[in-house]
Structure 1
Amino acid sequence: MGKHAGFLRVPHSVHDSAYGWIPVPIASIRNGAGPVVLLLAGVHGDEYEGQIALSKLVRSLAPDQITGQIIVLTMANFPAAEAGLRTSPIDGGNLNRVFPGDPTGTPTQMIADYIERYLLPRCDYLIDLHSGGTSLFYPPTLLRGQGYTQQEAVMLKAIQDAFDLPYAWVFTGGGGPNSTARTAMGAGNRNGVVSVMAELGGAGAVTPSILAQTERGLRRVLHRLALLSGAGPVPQNKTREMHALGTICIYDRGVFEPVKDIGDDISEGEVSGYVLRLDRPLEAPTEVISSFTGTILCKRPLGQVKCGDVVYQVAADTT
């Protein structure tokens, strides 16, 4: 019971620390019997809104404000978060691509194993906070499945409504106890945990308005799950439900000139932007053509591009 904070110790024997370990910060707030929720941030280290929001939430909540338990990892892949990188500088690991992990593997694999085998089996709910990181920018968007059972479907929609973000990306497949996804949400599904994720800004920066929406949404969700007392629902905005159609990629090298922004409509065959070779000012730019008809859901904020980079994600309304 009460509020506690400490570290998960990931063994890491190296040249200058033979018996060393990597400290993964963890906090718990518990009071009485009730639901248990795991809140994750820093799965990718260059995604900041979630890390800030969870740090502020842990500081602000007192045990007598909740019923149940809130478990928080503010910097889930600590080496990546400490370095401000998407992946771990120790082993190159992308934590959201290695679940279920390996207890005798690399540090990133060990972190994934602990979350999947020891934390998630204790939980009823998982909320995994992300952003577009350095290379993408998303408007505040909740990501969820359709629900493996009718009961789960109802709860996922309730969490979406409570988080109350401008967009919701609803997956059209996957989920359930047989999920093979190597993500934290996949791990949650395998453990029977009602799981959602959020994309909250990006471009390697913090957007005050998105941070405010994140903090508001978290408290609304905790209240809806009967964990947080005294918050009370506030007027709900409108969430636009969408499903992803695909991405618009680059097949050249240069500087990208976008002609579309987040929320803009685009048609199959339409020019979404141009790749310019600035070292060849007389050379005509390369057109970047959309293969989809829909709405721009996320955008690459970086100017320089190379073959294989994604500059847009396109989505369509679910109804």
Structure 2
Amino acid sequence: RVFPGDPQGTVTERIAHFLGKRIIGDSDFLIDLHSSGSSTAIPPMIGYYSHDSDVGIASKAAAEIFGMPVLWGHPGISPGRTITEATYRGIPWLYTESLGGGSLHLEHARMYIRGVRNVMKHLGVLLGEIEVCETTHHLFGDGDLGKGARTDAGGYLLARVELLAKVKRGDVLGEVIGLGGELLDEIRAPKDGVVISMRSTPSVSAGDVVFSLTEEA
């Protein structure tokens, strides 16, 4: 996460600077398509800027039209992201996440295709009817998964909750066990909330974020 980059910096910083100035900066709308990575699971979702500015209003409207099972509104954005750059430049944006895990989920890919087409129709780029998708969860939070619940031990993670489960502060989210089956750590919810991400691979190391929570909108 190096935006806005630096035209005189490292290769990565130069690429970020070019993308921010020449691609994002020349855009009317940004859609950044993600999956949640090889070791983390996130439910199929669309993230948007939850703010009363013109950028926020346009972002939320497009999120509803994109159509995903989960909408996640962010009142603020952590530094260095493409969407941070878009916000700075006054450009509405969306981003997606899905289960990831190093696999291609065709159903989720089809959701992305349908959603991008819906937004393009909404913006007048394409003609045609918008395809409606039911939203089952509307969530709210800063979107920083690095602030999630961590384990203090390395071992094998046994999750005791599922994605989008509602939990209370102190609820057991998972356990880390050793090779002999002994309990090494018990991960508890640091607050009330909804499970928005969790570790998808069972092998964990001390200090790893294994669960992240957010709030209902």
Same fold (TM over 0.5): yes
Q: Could you say which residue in structure 2 is the equivalent of 1:164? A: 67
* Cα distance in structure 2, aligned partners of 1:208 and 1:118: 32
C-alpha distance 232-260 of structure 1, shift in aligned 2 (>3 A): same
Q: Displacement of 1:200 after TM fit? A: 2.2
Give CA-to-partner distance per residue, 1:15-52, whole Å, 9 cap, x none.
xxxxxxxxxxxxxxxxxxxxxxxxxxxxxxxxxxxxxx
Please identify the structure whose Cα radius of gyration is greater.
1
* Cα distance in structure 2, aligned partners of 1:202 and 1:195: 21
Amino acid in structure 2 at the alignment position of 1:122: D
Tell me if the contact between 2:49 and 2:73 (Cα under 8 Å) persists in the aligned partners: yes
Q: Could you say which residue in structure 2 is the equivalent of 1:287? A: 186
* Cα distance in structure 2, aligned partners of 1:286 and 1:143: 32
Q: Displacement of 1:154 after TM fit? A: 2.8
C-alpha distance 140-112 of structure 1, shift in aligned 2 (>3 A): same
Q: Could you say which residue in structure 2 is the equivalent of 1:220? A: 118
Amino acid in structure 2 at the alignment position of 1:165: M
Tell me if the contact between 1:161 and 1:239 (Cα under 8 Å) persists in the aligned partners: no
- Percent identity for Structure 1 against Structure 2: 26
Q: Which has the higher contact order (CA 8 A, sep 6+)?
A: 2
TM-score by length of 2: 0.91
* Cα distance in structure 2, aligned partners of 1:203 and 1:243: 24
Q: Could you say which residue in structure 2 is the equivalent of 1:173? A: 76
* Cα distance in structure 2, aligned partners of 1:153 and 1:282: 49
Q: Note the residue ranges of structure 2 that are not aligned, 5 or more in a row.
A: none
Q: Note the residue ranges of structure 1 that are not aligned, 5 or more in a row.
A: 1-96, 175-179
Q: Displacement of 1:212 after TM fit? A: 1.2
Q: Displacement of 1:282 after TM fit? A: 6.2
Q: Displacement of 1:289 after TM fit? A: 1.3
* Cα distance in structure 1, aligned partners of 2:123 and 2:130: 12
Amino acid in structure 2 at the alignment position of 1:233: I
Counterpart of 2:158 (choices 233, 257, 282) is 257
* Aligned partner of residue 98 in structure 2, secondary structure: strand
Q: Could you say which residue in structure 2 is the equivalent of 1:207? A: 105
TM-score by length of 1: 0.63
Does residue 201 of structure 2 align to residue 302 of structure 1?
yes
Q: Could you say which residue in structure 2 is the equivalent of 1:232? A: 129
Amino acid in structure 1 at the alignment position of 2:174: G
